[in-house]
Amino acid sequence: MAGANTAAIAFIGFGEVGQTFSRGLLANEGVAIRAYDLLFGSEAGSRLETVAEELGVARAASAQEACAGAAFVFSAVTADRAEAVANEASAWLKPGQVFVDVNSAAPSTKQRAAQAVTVSGADYLEAAVMAPVLKPGLKVAILSGGPKAQAASEALNGLGMNLTPVSEVYGRASAMKLCRSIVIKGLEALMVDCAAACEAWDVKDPVFASLHATFPSIDFHALAADMRERVATHGVRRSAEMREAAEMLGVADLHPGLAQAIAEAQLRGARRKEGNR
Protein backbone atom coordinates (compact mmCIF):
# COMPACT_ATOMS: atom_id res chain seq x y z
CA MET A 1 0.00 0.00 0.00
CA ALA A 2 1.33 3.41 -0.93
CA GLY A 3 2.70 5.72 1.73
CA ALA A 4 1.87 9.36 2.17
CA ASN A 5 4.92 10.59 0.24
CA THR A 6 4.71 8.46 -2.87
CA ALA A 7 1.30 7.39 -4.12
CA ALA A 8 -0.09 6.53 -7.51
CA ILE A 9 -3.84 7.10 -7.52
CA ALA A 10 -6.44 6.42 -10.19
CA PHE A 11 -9.94 7.77 -10.65
CA ILE A 12 -12.61 6.02 -12.67
CA GLY A 13 -15.04 8.86 -13.18
CA PHE A 14 -13.84 12.47 -13.14
CA GLY A 15 -16.91 14.43 -12.12
CA GLU A 16 -17.31 16.61 -9.04
CA VAL A 17 -15.93 14.02 -6.61
CA GLY A 18 -12.99 13.02 -8.78
CA GLN A 19 -12.00 16.61 -9.44
CA THR A 20 -12.39 17.72 -5.83
CA PHE A 21 -10.46 14.79 -4.38
CA SER A 22 -7.74 15.12 -7.02
CA ARG A 23 -7.22 18.76 -6.17
CA GLY A 24 -6.70 17.92 -2.51
CA LEU A 25 -4.61 14.78 -3.02
CA LEU A 26 -2.22 16.51 -5.40
CA ALA A 27 -1.28 18.92 -2.61
CA ASN A 28 0.77 16.01 -1.23
CA GLU A 29 4.35 15.69 -2.43
CA GLY A 30 4.90 12.65 -4.62
CA VAL A 31 1.26 11.99 -5.49
CA ALA A 32 0.48 11.28 -9.13
CA ILE A 33 -3.05 10.83 -10.45
CA ARG A 34 -4.44 9.32 -13.63
CA ALA A 35 -8.13 9.51 -14.45
CA TYR A 36 -10.54 8.01 -16.92
CA ASP A 37 -14.04 9.23 -17.68
CA LEU A 38 -16.47 7.94 -20.28
CA LEU A 39 -16.78 11.50 -21.58
CA PHE A 40 -13.07 11.94 -22.30
CA GLY A 41 -12.50 12.39 -26.02
CA SER A 42 -15.99 13.73 -26.67
CA GLU A 43 -17.32 17.24 -27.06
CA ALA A 44 -19.20 16.88 -23.78
CA GLY A 45 -15.99 15.86 -22.02
CA SER A 46 -13.88 18.81 -23.15
CA ARG A 47 -14.51 20.67 -19.89
CA LEU A 48 -13.42 17.65 -17.86
CA GLU A 49 -10.25 17.38 -19.93
CA THR A 50 -9.50 21.06 -19.33
CA VAL A 51 -9.93 20.63 -15.57
CA ALA A 52 -7.67 17.57 -15.59
CA GLU A 53 -4.97 19.49 -17.41
CA GLU A 54 -5.25 22.45 -15.05
CA LEU A 55 -4.98 20.19 -12.00
CA GLY A 56 -2.11 18.11 -13.35
CA VAL A 57 -4.15 14.92 -13.64
CA ALA A 58 -3.07 12.61 -16.47
CA ARG A 59 -5.90 11.48 -18.74
CA ALA A 60 -6.06 7.79 -19.52
CA ALA A 61 -7.58 6.26 -22.64
CA SER A 62 -9.32 3.54 -20.63
CA ALA A 63 -10.11 2.62 -17.06
CA GLN A 64 -7.59 -0.19 -17.26
CA GLU A 65 -4.85 2.22 -18.30
CA ALA A 66 -5.77 4.60 -15.47
CA CYS A 67 -5.60 1.82 -12.89
CA ALA A 68 -2.31 0.24 -13.96
CA GLY A 69 0.12 0.42 -11.04
CA ALA A 70 -2.15 2.59 -8.88
CA ALA A 71 -2.09 1.97 -5.14
CA PHE A 72 -5.62 3.33 -4.77
CA VAL A 73 -8.33 3.13 -7.43
CA PHE A 74 -11.29 5.41 -6.73
CA SER A 75 -14.58 4.48 -8.35
CA ALA A 76 -16.47 7.79 -8.54
CA VAL A 77 -19.15 7.21 -11.14
CA THR A 78 -22.93 7.15 -10.71
CA ALA A 79 -24.87 4.85 -8.41
CA ASP A 80 -26.31 2.91 -11.32
CA ARG A 81 -22.80 2.24 -12.70
CA ALA A 82 -21.07 1.33 -9.44
CA GLU A 83 -21.49 -2.44 -9.69
CA ALA A 84 -20.69 -2.57 -13.41
CA VAL A 85 -17.45 -0.65 -12.90
CA ALA A 86 -16.41 -3.00 -10.10
CA ASN A 87 -17.12 -5.99 -12.31
CA GLU A 88 -15.10 -4.51 -15.17
CA ALA A 89 -12.20 -3.51 -12.91
CA SER A 90 -11.93 -7.02 -11.48
CA ALA A 91 -10.43 -8.12 -14.81
CA TRP A 92 -7.31 -5.97 -14.39
CA LEU A 93 -6.95 -5.13 -10.70
CA LYS A 94 -3.96 -6.73 -8.98
CA PRO A 95 -3.16 -7.87 -5.42
CA GLY A 96 -1.94 -4.92 -3.36
CA GLN A 97 -4.30 -2.43 -5.00
CA VAL A 98 -7.20 -0.91 -3.05
CA PHE A 99 -10.45 -0.25 -4.89
CA VAL A 100 -12.18 2.66 -3.11
CA ASP A 101 -15.88 2.67 -3.92
CA VAL A 102 -17.22 6.13 -3.07
CA ASN A 103 -20.46 5.72 -5.02
CA SER A 104 -23.80 6.25 -3.25
CA ALA A 105 -25.02 2.70 -3.71
CA ALA A 106 -27.15 0.29 -1.69
CA PRO A 107 -25.45 -2.02 0.83
CA SER A 108 -26.32 -5.01 -1.36
CA THR A 109 -24.77 -3.29 -4.39
CA LYS A 110 -21.58 -2.65 -2.42
CA GLN A 111 -21.51 -6.26 -1.25
CA ARG A 112 -21.74 -7.55 -4.82
CA ALA A 113 -19.10 -5.06 -5.96
CA ALA A 114 -16.81 -6.17 -3.15
CA GLN A 115 -17.20 -9.80 -4.15
CA ALA A 116 -16.25 -8.97 -7.74
CA VAL A 117 -13.20 -6.93 -6.77
CA THR A 118 -11.77 -9.30 -4.18
CA VAL A 119 -11.78 -12.19 -6.67
CA SER A 120 -8.96 -10.30 -8.42
CA GLY A 121 -6.86 -10.31 -5.26
CA ALA A 122 -7.25 -6.55 -4.79
CA ASP A 123 -8.81 -5.10 -1.63
CA TYR A 124 -12.20 -3.42 -1.67
CA LEU A 125 -12.87 -0.40 0.53
CA GLU A 126 -16.50 0.57 0.99
CA ALA A 127 -16.62 4.36 1.31
CA ALA A 128 -19.80 6.30 2.09
CA VAL A 129 -19.40 10.05 1.51
CA MET A 130 -21.58 11.75 4.10
CA ALA A 131 -21.91 15.28 2.67
CA PRO A 132 -21.51 17.28 -0.55
CA VAL A 133 -17.80 17.46 -1.33
CA LEU A 134 -17.33 20.97 -2.72
CA LYS A 135 -17.03 22.94 0.54
CA PRO A 136 -15.09 20.47 2.73
CA GLY A 137 -13.10 19.14 -0.21
CA LEU A 138 -10.75 16.32 0.72
CA LYS A 139 -11.83 16.64 4.38
CA VAL A 140 -15.42 15.58 3.70
CA ALA A 141 -16.54 12.96 6.21
CA ILE A 142 -16.41 9.42 4.79
CA LEU A 143 -17.47 6.22 6.55
CA SER A 144 -15.40 3.23 5.50
CA GLY A 145 -16.01 -0.47 5.73
CA GLY A 146 -14.45 -3.82 4.97
CA PRO A 147 -11.77 -6.15 6.36
CA LYS A 148 -8.99 -3.70 5.37
CA ALA A 149 -10.88 -0.54 6.28
CA GLN A 150 -8.61 0.40 9.19
CA ALA A 151 -5.33 0.16 7.28
CA ALA A 152 -6.65 1.71 4.07
CA SER A 153 -8.32 4.57 5.95
CA GLU A 154 -5.13 5.34 7.84
CA ALA A 155 -3.18 5.48 4.60
CA LEU A 156 -5.69 7.78 2.92
CA ASN A 157 -6.01 9.96 6.00
CA GLY A 158 -2.26 10.37 5.79
CA LEU A 159 -2.90 12.04 2.45
CA GLY A 160 -5.37 14.46 4.01
CA MET A 161 -8.64 12.56 3.75
CA ASN A 162 -11.17 12.05 6.55
CA LEU A 163 -12.21 8.40 6.67
CA THR A 164 -13.70 6.76 9.74
CA PRO A 165 -13.81 2.95 9.75
CA VAL A 166 -17.19 1.75 11.01
CA SER A 167 -17.25 -1.96 10.25
CA GLU A 168 -15.29 -4.86 8.82
CA VAL A 169 -18.54 -6.02 7.21
CA TYR A 170 -19.42 -4.66 3.78
CA GLY A 171 -22.72 -2.77 3.62
CA ARG A 172 -22.89 -1.17 7.04
CA ALA A 173 -21.26 2.13 6.01
CA SER A 174 -23.59 2.49 3.03
CA ALA A 175 -26.60 1.62 5.17
CA MET A 176 -25.68 4.43 7.56
CA LYS A 177 -25.44 6.88 4.66
CA LEU A 178 -28.64 5.85 2.88
CA CYS A 179 -30.76 5.70 6.02
CA ARG A 180 -29.69 9.28 6.68
CA SER A 181 -30.36 10.18 3.04
CA ILE A 182 -34.00 9.13 3.34
CA VAL A 183 -34.42 12.03 5.76
CA ILE A 184 -32.16 14.60 4.03
CA LYS A 185 -33.35 13.99 0.46
CA GLY A 186 -36.91 13.52 1.72
CA LEU A 187 -36.88 16.90 3.44
CA GLU A 188 -35.59 18.50 0.26
CA ALA A 189 -38.41 16.95 -1.76
CA LEU A 190 -41.01 18.03 0.81
CA MET A 191 -39.80 21.62 0.88
CA VAL A 192 -39.62 21.90 -2.91
CA ASP A 193 -43.17 20.61 -3.36
CA CYS A 194 -44.48 22.65 -0.43
CA ALA A 195 -42.94 25.86 -1.82
CA ALA A 196 -44.28 25.15 -5.31
CA ALA A 197 -47.79 24.58 -3.94
CA CYS A 198 -47.60 27.74 -1.82
CA GLU A 199 -46.55 29.77 -4.85
CA ALA A 200 -49.35 28.31 -6.98
CA TRP A 201 -51.92 29.45 -4.40
CA ASP A 202 -50.06 32.61 -3.27
CA VAL A 203 -49.97 31.46 0.35
CA LYS A 204 -46.23 31.15 0.96
CA ASP A 205 -45.94 33.86 3.63
CA PRO A 206 -48.73 32.63 5.94
CA VAL A 207 -47.76 28.96 5.47
CA PHE A 208 -44.10 29.59 6.22
CA ALA A 209 -45.08 31.78 9.18
CA SER A 210 -47.16 28.92 10.54
CA LEU A 211 -44.30 26.47 10.04
CA HIS A 212 -41.92 28.89 11.75
CA ALA A 213 -44.24 29.06 14.75
CA THR A 214 -43.99 25.28 15.06
CA PHE A 215 -40.24 25.13 14.31
CA PRO A 216 -38.96 28.59 15.41
CA SER A 217 -35.30 27.80 14.78
CA ILE A 218 -35.88 27.39 11.01
CA ASP A 219 -36.08 30.18 8.43
CA PHE A 220 -38.42 28.44 6.00
CA HIS A 221 -38.05 31.02 3.23
CA ALA A 222 -34.28 30.50 3.22
CA LEU A 223 -34.61 26.74 3.63
CA ALA A 224 -37.02 26.43 0.71
CA ALA A 225 -34.74 28.46 -1.56
CA ASP A 226 -31.67 26.48 -0.52
CA MET A 227 -33.33 23.10 -0.98
CA ARG A 228 -34.82 24.06 -4.32
CA GLU A 229 -31.35 24.93 -5.57
CA ARG A 230 -29.88 21.68 -4.17
CA VAL A 231 -32.52 19.61 -5.93
CA ALA A 232 -32.18 21.57 -9.17
CA THR A 233 -28.40 21.15 -9.17
CA HIS A 234 -28.01 17.64 -7.79
CA GLY A 235 -31.42 16.05 -8.30
CA VAL A 236 -30.37 13.58 -11.00
CA ARG A 237 -27.59 12.13 -8.85
CA ARG A 238 -29.72 12.20 -5.71
CA SER A 239 -32.56 10.47 -7.52
CA ALA A 240 -30.21 7.60 -8.36
CA GLU A 241 -29.08 7.52 -4.71
CA MET A 242 -32.67 7.24 -3.50
CA ARG A 243 -33.33 4.39 -5.89
CA GLU A 244 -30.44 2.65 -4.14
CA ALA A 245 -32.11 3.47 -0.83
CA ALA A 246 -35.27 1.85 -2.14
CA GLU A 247 -33.26 -1.28 -2.97
CA MET A 248 -31.83 -1.25 0.56
CA LEU A 249 -35.34 -1.12 2.02
CA GLY A 250 -36.57 -3.88 -0.24
CA VAL A 251 -33.71 -6.19 0.71
CA ALA A 252 -34.70 -5.68 4.35
CA ASP A 253 -38.35 -6.53 3.52
CA LEU A 254 -39.35 -2.91 4.17
CA HIS A 255 -41.63 -0.94 1.87
CA PRO A 256 -39.58 1.06 -0.67
CA GLY A 257 -42.43 3.33 -1.78
CA LEU A 258 -41.34 6.45 0.10
CA ALA A 259 -37.75 6.24 -1.15
CA GLN A 260 -39.03 5.71 -4.70
CA ALA A 261 -41.29 8.75 -4.40
CA ILE A 262 -38.37 10.84 -3.15
CA ALA A 263 -36.32 9.65 -6.14
CA GLU A 264 -39.08 10.79 -8.49
CA ALA A 265 -39.38 14.16 -6.74
CA GLN A 266 -35.62 14.77 -6.91
CA LEU A 267 -35.59 13.97 -10.62
CA ARG A 268 -38.64 16.14 -11.21
CA GLY A 269 -36.91 19.08 -9.54
CA ALA A 270 -33.80 18.64 -11.65
CA ARG A 271 -35.83 18.42 -14.86
CA ARG A 272 -37.72 21.56 -13.92
CA LYS A 273 -34.39 23.42 -13.94
CA GLU A 274 -33.41 21.85 -17.28
CA GLY A 275 -36.74 22.98 -18.72
CA ASN A 276 -36.00 26.57 -17.69
CA ARG A 277 -32.67 26.74 -19.48
Report the predicted TM-score, pTM, of the whole model to 2 decimal places.
0.90
**What residues contact 175, with CB distance under 8 A and at least 6 apart?**
107, 248
pLDDT digits (tens, 9 = 90+) for 161-217: 999 999 999 999 999 999 999 999 999 999 999 999 999 999 999 999 999 999 999
Q: One digit per residue, pLDDT tens: the chain, 277 residues?
A: 443 334 899 999 999 999 999 999 999 999 999 999 999 999 889 999 999 999 999 999 999 999 999 999 999 998 889 999 999 999 999 999 999 999 999 999 999 999 999 999 999 999 999 999 999 999 999 999 999 999 999 999 999 999 999 999 999 999 999 999 999 999 999 999 999 999 999 999 999 999 999 999 999 999 999 999 999 999 999 999 999 999 999 999 999 999 999 999 999 999 765 544 4
CA 198 to centroid of chain Cα atoms: 32
Q: How many angstroms separate the CA atoms of 15 and 125, rounded?
A: 20
Element of type H or E holding 163: strand 163-167
